[in-house]
A = this chain, B = another copy of it.
């Protein structure tokens, strides 16, 4: 086989895909190629030099790509896998970077045996989307969660570690897709449901001038990408509805305690929750951050 350069194909140059393409520049001896659908993204990607080459036909790049990063929305990833399953290069590593993993890992079963698929979730984001907001520094000090298959090769896991280090992730956290989806329902999706629910209040517009940092922080993520989050919520419905229900119940308990006028009981509840948060801050500061793994 003739010498050839190695190629990373990033399909979808939105906030995450665009930022990854930028962050991966200079990674070993890889060339980064970006795949886009819209003329506007194409032009911005070329103007900013987000990738060495940008194409409207990423499917034609699959045979020549050693690493393929699927950075579309979840439905886009599942469709792309199904439509192009025979085009991936044998021995290549394919990964996605969306916020749910079980449905994606399921969809990736359609790939031929010689193509390795590893689910990934960079725990980074912004409350704005699109290539305009992409930055090569987006992943610095954030967690990179991966959900490999049992048969994923050591070589590919090592490659992914090196890519993550190049992008300046804080660490690589390995887990199963089911575990990922349960925890992400709590740590991320629930935060978005809360922010949306708070913004549904009629007081949202009358309260201007009365908000402090906690209100800005809690509602920040409500201005979300609607099609994307509709998919993320829907594709993780069992885990998400469970954590929403638990939150409803806890809010109800606080409401009863506040309404009761029993300050001793209320104080005990606050002591319990505040103590947990302080304990967690302590563990985090001590660096006991990452607890999961196989």
A240: Cβ under 8 A from any B Cβ? yes
Q: How far is the CB of A277 from chain B (nearest CB, A)?
A: 4
Is A215 part of the binding interface, using a Cβ–Cβ cutoff of 8 Å? yes
Q: Let me know if A123 and B173 touch, CB within 8 A.
A: no
| Given A209-B143, A263-B234, A276 and B199 contact (CB-CB distance below 8 Å) | yes
Q: A201 interface residue, CB < 8 Å from B?
A: yes
On whether the beta carbons of A241 and B222 are closer than 8 Å, the reply is no
Is the Cβ of B214 less than 8 Å from the Cβ of A191? Answer: yes
Give per-residue flags for A259-276: 1 if the beta carbon is below 8 A from chain B beta carbons, else 0. 101010011011111101
Task: For A206, give its contact among B247, B276, B291 (CB under 8 Å).
Answer: B291
**A173 neighbours in B (Cβ, 8 Å):** 209-210
| Total residues of chain A contacting the partner, CB 8 A | 93
Binds B, one of A55-63, A81-89, A249-257: A249-257
Question: Chain A interface mostly helix, strand, loop or mixed?
Answer: helix
A224 contact set on B, CB distance < 8 A: 270, 274
Asked if A207 and B195 make an inter-chain contact with CB atoms under 8 angstroms apart, the answer reads no
A229 to B261, CA, bound (A): 14
Q: Are A250 and B220 in contact (CB under 8 A)?
A: no
Most buried by B among A182, A203, A240: A203
**Cross-chain pairs A/B with CB under 8 angstroms, 8 sampled:** A191-B218, A195-B218, A197-B273, A208-B283, A223-B278, A226-B270, A230-B267, A245-B255
Contacts A197-B273, A204-B276, A234-B266 known; list 19 others, CB within 8 Å. Answer: A125-B214, A183-B203, A186-B203, A187-B207, A187-B211, A191-B214, A191-B215, A196-B277, A200-B273, A201-B246, A205-B291, A214-B220, A222-B273, A223-B277, A226-B267, A230-B270, A233-B258, A237-B259, A241-B255
